[in-house]
């Protein structure tokens, strides 16, 4: 089944792009289950809306100490006034992804497949958030694959990731394609003093078949994922013609 334009008619008459993005990660996982070597597992992750991550939390308890000082008064510490404050929207980050773990190594994250949404490509701050996330994963030794079928935004986030880590991909040319599939990883050498950045990218186009996607899981361990077959299954499940 050739790639459809999920952001314009006639495809949008049958299903929205959100339907594909919600269904496709689950199909990825179903098909990876038959391909991954023993010890590796895959799980989908779809997150929409504001994303909060709390590193240190303070709780108020009813049985807390009275906090009275030696003079009998209540000892309180006022928080300093902020030096700057502005009313703003809570930033949102859409995530459609599949995470692959090495279950034999305490469920260590080894690879991700990131399905790009329009919001990821919308504004500079959204693109920076996506690029920063992928770069952080690469630096931790996690292989990152990016699948982008968004036709209404023209940024190439894989190209921006490569530029961010200091190694622009010379195979992309002066105008990287807006629709593409790509995989990349950073692997240290035996001495651990330097690392090799390995990358693969393939342009995609509406009306053409999707390419096979290489997934690196560990040194000497990889699979070639049938991106076309997963896309066909997701579209069929959604009755997309």
Angle at 47 between CA 141 and CA 230, to 5 degrees: 75
| pLDDT score at 190 | 67
| pLDDT score at 241 | 85
- Position 91 pLDDT exceeds 50: no
| pLDDT score at 48 | 66
Question: 200 near 225, Cβ under 8 Å?
Answer: no
Residue 3 domain flag: no
Looking at residue 212, the DSSP 8-state letter turns out to be: P
> Mean pLDDT over all residues of the chain?
84
pLDDT tens, residue by residue, 170-200: 999 889 999 999 999 988 776 666 788 999 9
Tell me if residue 109 falls in helix, strand or coil: strand
pLDDT tens, residue by residue, 187-234: 877 666 678 899 999 999 999 999 999 999 988 899 999 999 999 999
- Position 82 pLDDT exceeds 70: no
Q: Which residues contact 240 (CB under 8 A, 6 or more apart)?
A: 4, 11, 14, 15, 20
Q: Per-residue pLDDT averaged across 26-43, rounded?
A: 94
Can you give the residue range of the structural domain that contains 172?
11-48+91-237
Q: Per-residue pLDDT averaged across 87-93, rounded?
A: 51
Number of domains in the chain: 1
Rounded CA-CA distance 201/171 in Å is 8
Residue 55 domain flag: no
pLDDT tens, residue by residue, 46-78: 876 544 333 343 333 444 444 444 455 545 556
Tokens of 204: 């995609």
- Position 94 pLDDT exceeds 80: no
The widest CA-to-CA distance across the chain, in whole angstroms, is 80
The DSSP line for 110-172 is: EEEEEE--GGGGTSHHHHHHHHHHHHHHHHTT-EEEEEE---S----HHHHHHHHTT---GGG
pLDDT tens, residue by residue, 116-171: 999 999 899 999 999 999 999 999 999 999 999 999 999 999 999 999 999 999 99
pTM comes to 0.81
| pLDDT score at 88 | 47
Residue 75 domain flag: no
Q: Is the C-alpha dihedral spanning 122, 96, 16, 241 positive or negative? A: positive
Residue 188 domain flag: yes
Count the helices and strands in the chain (H runs, E runs).
4, 8
| pLDDT score at 176 | 95
Residue 181 domain flag: yes
Residue 210 domain flag: yes
Residue 85 domain flag: no
Nearest partner of 6 among 120, 149, 122, judged by Cα: 149
Residue 53 domain flag: no
| pLDDT score at 49 | 56
């Amino acid at each position: 089944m050739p790639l459809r334009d999920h952001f314009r008619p006639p495809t949008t008459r049958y299903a929205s792009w959100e339907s594909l993005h919600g269904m496709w990660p689950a199909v990825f996982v179903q098909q990876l289950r038959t391909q991954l070597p023993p010890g590796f597992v895959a799980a989908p992750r779809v997150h929409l809306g504001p994303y909060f991550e709390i590193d240190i939390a303070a709780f108020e308890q009813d049985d807390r100490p009275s906090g009275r000082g030696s003079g009998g008064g209540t000892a309180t510490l006022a928080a300093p006034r902020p030096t700057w404050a502005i009313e703003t929207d809570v930033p949102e980050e859409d995530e459609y992804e599949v995470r692959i773990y090495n279950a034999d190594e305490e469920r260590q994250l080894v690879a991700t497949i990131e399905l790009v949404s329009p919001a990821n490509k919308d504004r500079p701050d959204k693109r920076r958030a996506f690029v920063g996330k992928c770069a952080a994963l690469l630096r931790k030794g996690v292989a990152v694959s990016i699948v982008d079928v968004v036709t209404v935004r023209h940024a190439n986030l894989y190209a921006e990731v490569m530029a961010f880590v200091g190694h622009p991909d010379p195979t992309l040319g002066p105008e990287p394609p807006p629709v593409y599939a790509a995989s990349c990883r950073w692997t240290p050498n035996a001495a651990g003093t330097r690392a090799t950045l390995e990358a693969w990218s393939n342009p995609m186009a509406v009306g053409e078949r999707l390419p096979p996607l290489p997934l690196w899981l560990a040194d000497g361990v990889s699979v070639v994922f049938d991106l076309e077959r997963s896309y066909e299954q997701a579209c069929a499940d959604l009755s997309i013609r």
